[in-house]
Amino acid sequence: MGIRERLERPILSHFTFEGDVLSVEPYGDGHINETFLVRTTQRRYILQRMNEEVFPDPAALMHNIQYVTEYLRAQGQETLQIVATVNGEPYLRSSMGNFRMYVFIENTVSYNLVDNPQMFENAARAFGRFQNLLSGFDARKLVEVIPHFHDTPARLSALERAVENDVSGRARGVGAEIEFFESRKLDYTKVVDALARGDVPLRVTHNDTKLNNILMDARTGEARAIIDLDTIMPGSLLYDFGDAVRFGASTALEDERDLEKVHFSLDYFRAYTVGFVGEVANSLTPTEAELLPFSALLMAEECGMRFLTDYLDGDEYFATAYDDHNLVRAHTQMRLVEDMEAQMTEMKVLTRQIVNRYQHATTNHENDHEES
């Protein structure tokens, strides 16, 4: 039986989309949910089977997305549009899993690799604006769908547990990788401690800002909509900045096998920092500004640990296409960590210049205003 036949009666017939189904195909490069493109005689839709292990409370998850998308739409921002079920629910619970449907956002593209600094700067502006649009959102409305999501010390503990359990018998082969992450443990507490002390403010953040979670206009290259709103939770702006940079400022795909191709690009880093800081300069605190370059390194360390942990756990969490896929991903993150460590001084100088430029611009502008 094809995908369409499998999904049409038990799943699709419960949603209030327009037209008759023409085709259903697997779609996109997400690692978490199972995504399908549905074409009907009227328009296109995205159908997703939500990952039950990762999101055990789909009702809370969908409430978060409903609140946030309504809030964004009310401010004129294009965003995900949920297609309700015939019972008026935002998702369908079924024996085949939990499914949701979105209107397909047409005439857009999402990328797994940056191919020029301008497009990365556009992505950064969009994530910066997203941060600004959510600055007034009441965080108490949100359920923390994945507690400790960016708790880097907890990610190290999870790695250590995976090594101890060694369910897949793979630990023996990755001693150097484990040591790599153990030896950097002093890094992991910096942002969580700053948040706990109140030195870095808690904000409503996206928490999964990789490039393929943003849709760019196919014609103009401008960012249109930020998607994958599953992990919107209270967090730090540093997570959003750092995660976008660790993915997009790499010269190769996240799962590139040939590490010779994997470099951290200072040009891409500059482009992202210009775009992001340009948008958030008004609300950026001094400690946030200071930690921006470090946050990219931290997110690469954290993501690398998560890939290695999943490799040891037998590939339970992230979707994989081949046997050592998670290990290949862990290796690219390690390469980026080393490259960032080597270029951290330049990253800090660049960031300081950019922050000064925008914060001075704002101050001068405010002064102009006061004088007039």
Q: Which residues bind ligand GN1 (CB under 6 A)?
A: 30-32, 54, 208, 210, 213, 228, 230-231, 243, 254, 303
* Binding residues for Mg ion (CB under 5 A): 30, 213, 228
DSSP at 84: P
Q: Is 105 in the site for ligand ADP (CB under 6 A)?
A: yes
Given a contact cutoff of 8 angstroms between Cβ atoms, the answer to whether 143 and 57 are in contact is: yes
Partner interacting with residue 27 (select from Mg ion, ligand ADP, ligand GN1, none; CB below 5-8 Å by kind): ligand ADP
What is the torsional sign of CA 21, 34, 14, 4? positive
DSSP 8-class letter at 320: -
Tell me the C-alpha distance between 265 and 273, whole Å: 12
* Torsion angle, alpha carbons of 193, 197, 203, 208, to 10: 0
Interacting residues with ligand ADP between 14 and 53 (CB under 6 A): 27-33, 35, 46
Q: Is 90 in the site for ligand ADP (CB under 6 A)?
A: no
Q: Is 43 left (phi over 0), alpha (psi -120 to 50) or beta?
A: beta
* Residue 111, binding choice from ligand GN1, Mg ion, ligand ADP, none, Cβ under 5 to 8 Å by partner class: none
Quick check: 102 binds ligand ADP (CB under 6 A)?
A: yes
Residue nearest to ligand GN1 (CB): 31
Q: Does 68 interact with ligand ADP (rule: CB under 6 A)?
A: no
Least distance between ligand ADP and beta carbon 26 (Å) = 10
Does the footprint of ligand ADP cover residue 280 (CB under 6 A)? no
Site residues for ligand ADP, 214-273, by CB under 6 A, read 215, 227-228, 230
Q: Which stretch binds ligand ADP (CB under 6 A): 99-107, 119-127, 263-271, 280-288?
A: 99-107
Return phi, psi of residue 354, to 5°.
Answer: -70, -45
| Shortest distance in whole angstroms from residue 172 CB to ligand GN1 | 25
Rounded Cα distance between 211 and 8, Å, is 31
Q: Which does 35 bind (CB under 5 to 8 A by kind): ligand GN1, ligand ADP, Mg ion, none?
A: ligand ADP
The Cα–Cα gap between 91 and 62 comes to: 7
Written as six digits, the tokens of 257 are: 């096998």
Residue 1 Cβ vs Mg ion, minimum distance, rounded to whole Å? 27
| 281 vs 312 by CB, closer to ligand GN1 | 312
| Rounded-to-integer distance, Cα 45 and Cα 105, Å | 8
Element (H or E) spanning 44, and its range?
strand 44-50
Residue pair 358/281 in contact (Cβ under 8 Å)? The answer is yes
Minimum separation from the CB atom of position 85 to ligand ADP (A): 17
Q: How many CB atoms lie within 10 A of CB 141?
A: 12
Residues that bind ligand ADP (CB under 6 A): 27-33, 35, 46, 80, 102, 104-105, 110, 212-213, 215, 227-228, 230
